[in-house]
Each structure stands twice: as C-alpha cells, then as structure tokens.
C-alpha cells in the first residue's frame, strides 16, 4: 500500500504543504529583518531554519545509531539512513543558500571562515557516510560502521555552532550567536521559529516517507 | 529580489524534486 494512502500520512503531508505555502508567502512579502540589507535579507528566514533542521536531523542520525547499536533492530538503521539522507539534502541547501546571501551582503560567495568551513566538513563527512553505505561490503557490518560514523559525525555540529567563539574575531564573517535576535523587535525571531517549525514538519514527513521506502526495499 | 526568489525556488524545488523521486521509487518497488 502506498505511503500516502494512510490517513495520518496524508494529514501530515497536507499540514506540511500548508505551512510551507505560508512560509513562502511570508518570506517573499515581509520586510527584511535588517532593512540595510534590502529584500535579500529575507533569505535569513530560510537559510537559518534549514541549517537548524539539518543539525537536528544529524542529531537524529546519532540517536538512531545509538539505538541501532544497542537494540540491533534494522528499523533504527533505516531511520538513521533516512535522517542522514534528508539531513544531507538540507545541508546542501545550507551550503548553497548561504553563498547566495553572502554575495550581495559581503561581496563574495565563499570566504574560508570557521563556520562555513566546519559546515562544509560536516557535509563531506556525510558524503563519506554514503560512500561507506554504498561500497562498504557486508550489509550488517556496514550498518554497524555507519551507526558509529553517524555518532562521531555529530561531534562537528557543536563545533559549527561555537566556531564563532572558538576562532579569532578577525577570522569571522558570521554574526555572534543570538546577535540577530533583538528583544525590542521580536517579530523576526517569531518568523524564524515559524519557518523552523514548518521545515520540521516537512522534514519529519520526508524521513517517515524515506524510512517506509527503505523498509519496502528491504522486504522486496 | 532575484537572490531571494533563487533561494526559495532552490530550497522548495529541491524538496519537491526529492518527493517526486521518492514517489517514483515507491512506484517501482510496488511493481516489483
């Protein structure tokens, strides 16, 4: 039976589509959070929540890896792989939307500064994860190794968050954590949170759909 | 504005493309 034949999944998809439509409308029509930047400043409402979603999905890869190693259930392996795939798609989007924003804001697409570099490293680690999945040999062994790589790869996420503090200020292009959120005008904060929630609903649907397909593949 | 539209099309286009690809996969698996 098709994934979208189930009522719950269809409701989940309808809610995700509605939230995504509202989010696109907000991003395209609202005044930018930083008026000095002009309309392209609204990229902030997509770029930041996509990054948060990617990090959360990679956190889920780590949790699934731990459950797989302790419970030895193939379902956790499927969930972990689905989270890794969706997380890497989101990470790719972070790494492409960032430079599109950076060009008009900073004047160049890609400065080799700490947060960008550590984000690229995380993306490359997960490319290695998929190569391991594809070419690792024995499926049971590959699942175990992939779970370990997924757990270790998550160590890069706190490094990305804290990279703006770890390295010298002269090396930074990104703002400090929380610098964009102004308590006098909380609207941008609410909108980023709304965008994040809409992407969470969408990404959870993607993970569930992909897990379902991986289980179908395994059964066939 | 063109930067913003590029980002919106890129993000939601990639997600829509992903769903399209998975639906194709599901169709192939159901057939086999």
Is ipTM beyond 0.90? yes
Residue A178, number of CB atoms within 10 A of its CB: 8
Question: Which residues from B are below 8 Å from A when comparing CB atoms?
Answer: 1, 3-8, 10-12, 14-15, 18-19, 22, 25-26, 29-30, 32
Which domain covers residue B23, as residue numbers? 1-32
**Nearest to residue A65, comparing CAs of A82, A90, A88?**
A82
Both tokens of A31, joined, read 């005044």
Sequence-separated (6 or more) residues with CB below 8 Å from residue B21 = none
Q: Per-residue pLDDT tens for A3-51?
A: 888 999 999 999 999 999 999 999 888 876 666 666 777 888 899 999 9
Domain range annotation of chain A: 3-219
Q: How far apart are CA A118 and CA A139, in angstroms?
A: 30
Q: How many domains does chain B have?
A: 1
**CA of B27 to nearest chain A CA: how many angstroms apart?**
8
- Sign of the torsion formed by the C-alpha atoms of A106, A33, A14 and A84: positive
pTM listed for this prediction: 0.90
Q: Do B11 and A202 touch (CB under 8 A)?
A: no
**Best to test chain B binding among A10, A40, A48, A49 (most B CBs inside 10 Å):** A40
């Amino acid at each position: 039976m098709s994934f979208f034949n189930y009522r719950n999944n269809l409701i989940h998809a309808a809610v995700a589509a509605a939230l995504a439509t509202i989010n696109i409308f907000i991003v395209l029509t609202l005044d930018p959070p930083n008026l000095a930047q002009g309309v392209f400043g609204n990229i902030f409402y997509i770029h930041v929540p996509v990054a948060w979603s990617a990090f959360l999905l990679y956190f889920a890869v780590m949790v699934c890896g731990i459950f797989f190693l302790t419970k030895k259930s193939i379902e956790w392996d499927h969930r972990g792989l689905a989270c890794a795939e969706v997380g890497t798609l989101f990470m790719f989007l972070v790494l492409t939307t960032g430079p599109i924003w950076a060009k008009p804001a900073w004047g160049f697409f890609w400065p080799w500064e700490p947060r960008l570099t550590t984000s690229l490293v995380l993306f490359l680690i997960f490319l290695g994860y998929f190569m391991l999945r594809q070419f690792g040999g024995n499926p049971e062994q590959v699942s175990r190794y992939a779970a370990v790589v997924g757990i270790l790869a998550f160590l890069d996420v706190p490094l990305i968050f804290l990279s703006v503090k770890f390295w010298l200020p002269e090396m930074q292009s990104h703002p400090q954590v929380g610098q964009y959120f102004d308590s006098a005008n909380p609207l941008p904060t609410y909108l980023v949170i709304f965008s994040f929630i809409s992407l969470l609903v969408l990404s959870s649907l993607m993970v569930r759909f992909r897990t379902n397909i991986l289980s179908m593949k395994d059964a066939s | 504005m063109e930067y913003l539209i590029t980002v919106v099309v890129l993000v939601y286009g990639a997600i829509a493309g992903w769903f399209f690809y998975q639906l194709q996969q599901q169709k192939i698996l159901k057939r086999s």
